[in-house]
């Protein structure tokens, strides 16, 4: 059963892989089904997360601006002008070049803030303290050789371990696009007592199968995922 906390706020990691150009977002919050509202990504274009008192329409709008060639900082400026409630929002953007832009509105509930690095953003609001976003940032910095999905999940795991939100978490998600119009990774935990543990379990099961799902669209003779996994000692 879903039990609403005192406040429904969020912490998120956004990243771009410098080797592959993959774009991804991982998010967790005290509200159910956060994966359906926070992330917006288009391969080769950019990634946007919108949270706090989120308006999910801002993500697709920002993606359209990125498609027109606007850099991330310009997109933030345009969204500021278009949204009369911008101070209630928290927005993070990474464009196709890996440039970052992030804005924490003045009406976000404390603690709220963000960190940025080389092609990544960590941000959150209504957290137990700044240490949550700092732990997330350290996880991003210390995992640069990992698969992007792994880096993003580690980041929100680190934020959880650092205390997360005062009212706990209820849902989590990770969304990663490589070069195609569809996401290679789209995993969600929509209503769970320990959403990060469940997201980790699902990711650990899915990760070894990624080569299969990369190949199958261009090679339908590859067979079933079960037989492919058995032949490689994965099942």
pLDDT in tens, 107-135: 999 899 999 999 999 999 999 999 999 99
Say whether domain 10-194 belongs to CATH 3.60.20.10. Answer: yes
Report whether the peptide linkage leading into residue 111 is cis, meaning its omega lies within 30 degrees of zero.
yes
Q: pTM here? A: 0.94
160 is written with which tokens? 């959880």
145 is written with which tokens? 């050789």
Q: Do residues 154 and 141 make contact, with C-beta atoms less than 8 angstroms apart? A: no
Rounded to the nearest 10 degrees, the angle between the axes of helix 130-141 and helix 148-161 is: 150
pLDDT for res 1: 38
131 is written with which tokens? 């240490």
10-residue mean pLDDT series, the chain (235 residues): 49 96 97 95 98 94 97 96 95 96 94 96 96 98 95 97 92 97 97 96 97 95 94 90
Q: Where are the domains of the chain?
A: 10-194
pLDDT for res 222: 95
Neighbours of 192 (CB within 10 A): 16
pLDDT in tens, 69-87: 999 999 999 999 999 999 9
Measured between alpha carbons, how far is 193 from 30 in angstroms, rounded to an integer? 10
């Amino acid at each position: 059963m879903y039990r609403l906390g005192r406040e429904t706020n969020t912490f998120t990691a956004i990243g771009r892989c410098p080797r592959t150009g993959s774009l991804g977002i991982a998010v967790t919050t005290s509200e159910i089904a956060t994966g359906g509202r926070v992330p917006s990504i288009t391969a080769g274009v950019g990634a946007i997360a919108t949270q706090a008192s989120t308006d999910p329409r801002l993500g697709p709008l920002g993606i359209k601006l990125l498609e027109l060639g606007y850099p991330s900082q310009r997109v933030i400026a345009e969204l500021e002008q278009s949204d009369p409630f911008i101070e209630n929002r928290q927005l993070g953007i990474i464009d196709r070049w890996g440039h970052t832009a992030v804005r924490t509105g003045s009406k976000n509930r404390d603690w709220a803030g963000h960190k940025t690095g080389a092609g990544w953003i960590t941000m959150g609001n209504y957290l137990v303290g700044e240490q949550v976003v700092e732990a997330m940032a350290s996880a991003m910095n210390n995992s640069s050789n990992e698969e992007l999905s792994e880096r993003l999940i580690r980041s929100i795991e680190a934020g959880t371990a650092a205390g997360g939100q005062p009212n706990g978490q209820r849902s989590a998600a990770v969304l990663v696009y490589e070069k195609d119009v569809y996401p290679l990774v789209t995993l969600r935990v929509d209503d769970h007592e320990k959403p990060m543990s469940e997201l980790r379990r699902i990711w650990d099961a899915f990760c070894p199968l990624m080569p299969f799902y990369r190949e199958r669209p261009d090679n339908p003779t590859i067979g079933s995922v079960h037989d492919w996994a058995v032949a490689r000692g994965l099942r």
